[in-house]
Structure 1
């Protein structure tokens, strides 16, 4: 299926498939979808466009999103939040160990050394991986999107921080597969924002003109990212990125929490950090206070009732004091901004605009520092919360075959330099080469030529461990197999293609052995003409050597030597030590997620059945003392009321947790007693209107019979037998109605009715079926009754002056006159 769209305005028209962009934040998530007319942010079942990144595990099911957030205080040990940065990280990672004391739930070391999350689920201790927890969250977001769109959602683009390493990106990608999503791209947060900014701009410079340079600053709850992007018409190119992975809105929350913990310790003798529930409540209140201070510079109160040990606490804070407390964090704001500008080799004068997004950029002091650095006002033209999701949805629309949108090329960058290392006969036994430098264009492929006689390993790692927000700089090891020497014993030429793909993930994608190509003693060389792959855009592609067809030859040898035919043989590559889930483990996680979805569905159906019983009990009991009171005897009312009370007591005792069918049976038992009362009430209310309608019909048809007997010209074309049938039907209907009304009047209102509204409707239909076709039959046309005109032949042949005058006012065609004759217009 192809989707068509307005190329000039970037509008979309969808037929079948849906494509969505998902911003999976540290604290909240947003879903955007490409629809007819543009990009729309989807609201969840709580009519909230923001879904908390929160998963709560319980004894029977899972709660995800808003429902899970409501469990943060009451079920804190099993409610998981702030898990985004555990992707791909080892349990012994310094960051994990720093976070561990702050978390209300437990972390666990997995068999592979990674970080697991230990909770109580289905009354058992379970350890979930970060991929599984994120998979649960994505499953919820997928269901939210499908519910809003009324169609399946498969294709998606997921945003990740620009500083995520290879291991973290692979981990997030695995999570999308657990959720049953087809992730077309893991897009960097700031790149998504740049796309959301640029694709709708109609005034961008042409490719021949100087590009428009825009700075995008994104400070969310847990991280700070900066990118500088160059825009031309139809394309964007990221020039540089910089970041502080550990600076975000939560740092400012924690500063407030620390301050109030110390104050309450001295003022109320409360050690808040020893009470997880109290600490979580304080975090929530401090976050609210921080947001209030962004809009108000006066003193603001902090009041929490029954905070701890049944003690109410209160305090005050103002913006000035708050900024002084957070001075150490505010000082860090300028560092990534300055680094990005230096890497881009631009001056402040080259910057067209500074766009800020992310919740924490609402803090006035942060906006002020960014504005002061660039010597210009910051722009807030993008939605601070939804820009990443909207950009992700646009990228998904561009990549998906389901949409056709205006051409827009995207060139991202490699955030950290990547080096390859291999065994070499020179250089002390090891060879190294930096294949991708910092801020190198991505996605990108390079072909590297080796001269080898035997299989060899390529070890990939990040070049500068000190710049990495990650404890392990290794990416993985790639073993090139089946390498053999040439028939003459010389080294074989092996071409290896390395790639950073659209997800920002590094791989050795292919290797081939070139036969009959004698080496020149070099161990390795990088092709001078690598292929840039950028979403298949023709203008960004350079030819790539592909086996023999791409072999370069000495130009001086052309014409002197015959062409030498060479053969390219594909070589298998085995990846080792890659931080990604094995296929078997991933399949098990996918299956377990499916089982959890089924379990959640069963629990929902059980709860719905239980709620239906509870709702029926309350509704019926209320109406027994109201509208139903006169339709049931006192004895039956007492018995039914007692039954309702017993059911209510059962619901909160033995019936607290029963199978769905038990609740269904309970409801059926109640309805066997309650439904007749409801029916009597409804019948009593609707029966008079039914008899009234039947009476009107009988009157109508009886009037037609009387008119026929009086020779009314409207019915003269009907036969005596037909009108006799009508009269008989009317008489029978009158008799039926009188009998039923008399019988019903003898019954008490507490008894079941002798005649139901459905019976009256059926009788009306029966009467209509017999009478209506007869009395509403149209009269025969003029041609069918010529004898009527023959009686007045003379009048038509010799019209009088009076007749002629009357004829002038008639329309063409026959008209019925008072005398019953037909008059035709005389031309």
Structure 2
């Protein structure tokens, strides 16, 4: 449940809510942070907040504003009479001396109390909060001026009760500002309390609060105020100035026209804001009275001279608050200036001269009270968790109690609550009485109260009291100043076991009351001008009826707007979207009905029509247009379904070219899509919903088809490792190396494209199958090792071909050579048995020939790296000799190698075969005799190597003597079996 803080200003209201991220100010229906404190009554409904402010100019006598100035006041108070002169609505005296507001609503003359109007405003603000927070709002803290009396505080609670709010606390505006300031202040001094003075100049009053801050808490030291000094008083100075000026210049009386007064006051308020930033400001109002346009101009200096008396009063509450707090001016840390009326530059100058410090504006001038109230509500609410922060407020008045004893009328006065006492607070005192007696509660110092306010709070009747044997009884009374600042008597009891004191009235502490025998006595309260419980219940019922009437009117307006919109939309559709779906006869009939409905809306309908009449006419029009709309929707659905049906048909055609397993899966997907589509009738969807349904179905069907078309990988069955069948450990170790290579290529296959992956897996599978068909016992150790090494080389080459295979442009000449040799095979050539059955060679070559066969069918000669040796293409079939750069070696007639330069000319050589250096003319250049030839056949020790022995280098590039190296093995001496005699064929690579 949300917790809320309300700041009910004289003109505007602010709502703040405590959330996890902090305190937020809520927006009204117009997305504004401030809502006007206005309630306006129309002919059939009320307009509250922003709507009421817009209605105020048109109907000023039925618009109630500045209700804060009338709460808890008596009609005959002089200050109230001055206040009513500024308000356009009619008022009268109530039954207990209060104020009644008279107005006309729904052709009836009604009267409302200020409490009821304030309850309407609270209800409106509650609705705004619930709409923003999307949850129920119950707990709240309401900001009030510190100068409010007991009766004004009670009426605020009554108004919140009418609105259905649970007010956790009525909080002084200055205390709320101080809480919002101190809660987030992190640079407070640890040496002692930090003293801050808060000056709040609102629309109608000025409040000053002195507070002391420490880490983890704050304490209010004093409150002072001027209830009749605010921003509107400066506006009134401008209003009187221009009203008198216009009367002299244009001969018009603004005071005689309430509407003109409202417009001129609004313009003066804007003019004051302009003067806060500029030294001169113009005023212009069109058609103020009798179609007369008025204009004027004023400077800031003139404005300050007109406001001199008001500016002098600004410092009075400041001095009073500082004196009551007992703080020296030098100990004040800063002065915080807030309030909507604080933007006058002259006010800042006065405060600077008074406190010898320039005021700061670190707080939001209009929202700080609501934020502090929301923060206090979060601290009091059990549903919120806030860090511990102690808040101690003080009461600005002293309350006394006067006692009398029935007919004797013996008055005795005591001070029940001293001034500036922290509250909530409770006190107990005793009184000697033998009959009933009465407590009269009132404020002691009337000068502290606003001018004209009655000091009476109420009176409480006690008794009769009866004791066992004693003629007079000692009565113990407990009084409380609760958290709202309201005076209460919680209980009264008789003490029987102590002799009467010489003094009839005495304050007691809790210790002196121990071990006393007591008996409670009855008491009743009679608060002056307070609203009774029955009146509150009636006001709550009345507010609920007014709220239902407002909802009914709003619903009727919405239905009328819906009917009007339907007429215009249907007429537009008949000319555009529905044009090819409606016949000429239908078009004429519907157009005629639409025109009749439009004429009825603007001519015959009136405010007496209710929601049902508009609903009936709307249903009649919908019945006429329904057949055409169904045709239009059906066509839209057919168009939306066509892409899905085309996709199904296309995939059925694709299925014929797929393998059997993929084909069946794709056909099943098409069938499921058709069945799913038939199970969802288009009649159950609107065109937009059907289009979204088709798009979603197409996406699902597309994924199913892609899954069906994707080739299936056939995972070969695992082959038993060959080394498990080999008894000789040396043979088994040689075989493990080949099997490890196969396992590595299996892993590499997972990261390749699909076609390369399949080729590599097939190569690995065929080698495993070939090895499983061999019998190691038919080989000796050397023959088996050589056979495994040869198989590894050929298997490695085939795997490299599979990895780098490309269908469009093959890069491997061996594969191309094999493919070309396949075309030249003689048809009469005898094909091995394995080739006849599979159409492929045993080694899995694509050409159908042996991998090592050339065009002539002879074995291909290979070099030491395993690559085939190119032939020169002549009849001799000699291999092509190439140099280190890969170019063919050219020889002369004597057989010596010949070199060519960049211009393709032959390079001259000396007798040793080395190229001869030539100049630009082609003549040989003599070598420099000073330079000694470097013998390249030297080792790292710079010792020459004998030239009769060839030089050979090892992996470290050191020359190695060939005579000292291992002798090469003669392949003819090795016992290598014929590959064609091994298990009926060559190695399948």
Normalising by structure 1, report the TM-score.
0.83
- Asked if 2 retains the 8 angstrom alpha-carbon contact of 1:119 and 1:125, the reply is yes
CA distance in 2, matches of 1:688, 1:781: 36
CA distance in 2, matches of 1:195, 1:773: 64
Instruction: Give the counterpart of 1:643 among 579, 585, 593.
Output: 593
Which protein is bigger by CA-based radius of gyration?
Answer: 2
Question: 2:156: which partner in 1?
Answer: 172
Q: After the TM superposition, which residues 746-761 of structure 1 pair with which residues of structure 2 at under 5 Å, given as runs?
A: none
Counterparts in 2 of 1:727 and 1:393: CA distance versus 1, 3 Å: closer
Q: What's the CA shift for 1:344?
A: 1.6
CA distance in 2, matches of 1:359, 1:370: 16
Q: After the TM superposition, which residues 185-264 of structure 1 pair with which residues of structure 2 at under 5 Å, given as runs?
A: 185-205=169-189, 209-264=191-246
Q: What's the CA shift for 1:790?
A: 9.7
Question: 2:87: which partner in 1?
Answer: 103
Using CA pairs under 8 Å that are at least 6 residues apart, name the structure with larger relative contact order, 1 or 2. Answer: 1
Mapped pair 1:270 → 2:290? no
Question: 2:342: which partner in 1?
Answer: 361
Mapped pair 1:808 → 2:744? yes
Q: After the TM superposition, which residues 257-656 of structure 1 pair with which residues of structure 2 at under 5 Å, given as runs?
A: 257-298=239-280, 300-423=281-404, 429-469=410-450, 470-485=452-467, 487-527=468-508, 529=509, 544=510, 551=513, 566-656=516-606
CA distance in 1, matches of 2:142, 2:671: 76
- Asked if 2 retains the 8 angstrom alpha-carbon contact of 1:702 and 1:730, the reply is no
SS of the residue corresponding to residue 385 of structure 2 reads: coil
SS of the residue corresponding to residue 810 of structure 1 reads: helix
Counterparts in 2 of 1:267 and 1:767: CA distance versus 1, 3 Å: closer
Q: What's the CA shift for 1:730?
A: 9.8
- Asked if 2 retains the 8 angstrom alpha-carbon contact of 1:690 and 1:761, the reply is no
Mapped pair 1:74 → 2:58? yes
Q: After the TM superposition, which residues 79-158 of structure 1 pair with which residues of structure 2 at under 5 Å, given as runs?
A: 79-158=63-142
CA distance in 1, matches of 2:148, 2:565: 50
CA distance in 2, matches of 1:589, 1:260: 42
- Asked if 1 retains the 8 angstrom alpha-carbon contact of 2:206 and 2:226, the reply is yes
Question: 1:714: which partner in 2?
Answer: 662
Counterparts in 2 of 1:404 and 1:390: CA distance versus 1, 3 Å: same
Stretch deviating more after TM superposition (343-352 or 373-382): 343-352
Stretch deviating more after TM superposition (497-506 or 341-350): 341-350
CA distance in 2, matches of 1:797, 1:637: 93
- Asked if 1 retains the 8 angstrom alpha-carbon contact of 2:637 and 2:691, the reply is no
Stretch deviating more after TM superposition (506-515 or 197-206): 197-206
- Asked if 2 retains the 8 angstrom alpha-carbon contact of 1:217 and 1:356, the reply is yes
CA RMSD of aligned residues (A): 3.7
Q: What's the CA shift for 1:124?
A: 1.1
Q: What's the CA shift for 1:267?
A: 1.4
Stretch deviating more after TM superposition (623-632 or 184-193): 623-632
Q: What's the CA shift for 1:624?
A: 4.1
CA distance in 2, matches of 1:766, 1:216: 67
CA distances 1:565-586 after superposition (whole Å, capped 9, x unpaired): 5312233221013432111111
Instruction: Give the counterpart of 2:147 among 149, 163, 187.
Output: 163
Q: What's the CA shift for 1:638?
A: 4.3
CA distance in 2, matches of 1:136, 1:807: 84
Q: What's the CA shift for 1:676?
A: 4.9
SS of the residue corresponding to residue 714 of structure 1 reads: helix
Question: 2:610: which partner in 1?
Answer: 659
- Asked if 1 retains the 8 angstrom alpha-carbon contact of 2:473 and 2:494, the reply is yes
Question: 2:966: which partner in 1?
Answer: none
SS of the residue corresponding to residue 331 of structure 1 reads: helix
Q: What's the CA shift for 1:697?
A: 2.0
SS of the residue corresponding to residue 315 of structure 1 reads: strand
Instruction: Show structure 1 runs of 5+ residues with no match.
Output: 1-16, 530-543, 553-564, 737-751
CA distances 1:700-725 after superposition (whole Å, capped 9, x unpaired): 13322x135xx45634xx5xxx9887
CA distance in 2, matches of 1:423, 1:727: 101
| Count of matched residue positions in the alignment of Structure 1 and Structure 2 | 747
CA distances 1:659-718 after superposition (whole Å, capped 9, x unpaired): 2122222222223344555555555556434212210122113322x135xx45634xx5
- Asked if 2 retains the 8 angstrom alpha-carbon contact of 1:515 and 1:568, the reply is yes
Counterparts in 2 of 1:696 and 1:491: CA distance versus 1, 3 Å: same
- Asked if 1 retains the 8 angstrom alpha-carbon contact of 2:395 and 2:420, the reply is yes
- Asked if 1 retains the 8 angstrom alpha-carbon contact of 2:746 and 2:761, the reply is no
Q: What's the CA shift for 1:440?
A: 2.1
Instruction: Show structure 2 runs of 5+ residues with no match.
Output: 727-734, 772-989
Stretch deviating more after TM superposition (613-622 or 817-826): 817-826
CA distances 1:383-433 after superposition (whole Å, capped 9, x unpaired): 000000001011111111112212222222222221110126999821011
Normalising by structure 2, report the TM-score.
0.70
- Asked if 2 retains the 8 angstrom alpha-carbon contact of 1:475 and 1:579, the reply is no
- Asked if 1 retains the 8 angstrom alpha-carbon contact of 2:745 and 2:760, the reply is no
Q: What's the CA shift for 1:315?
A: 1.2
CA distances 1:334-360 after superposition (whole Å, capped 9, x unpaired): 111111112122221121110111110
CA distance in 1, matches of 2:142, 2:230: 21
CA distance in 1, matches of 2:248, 2:695: 84
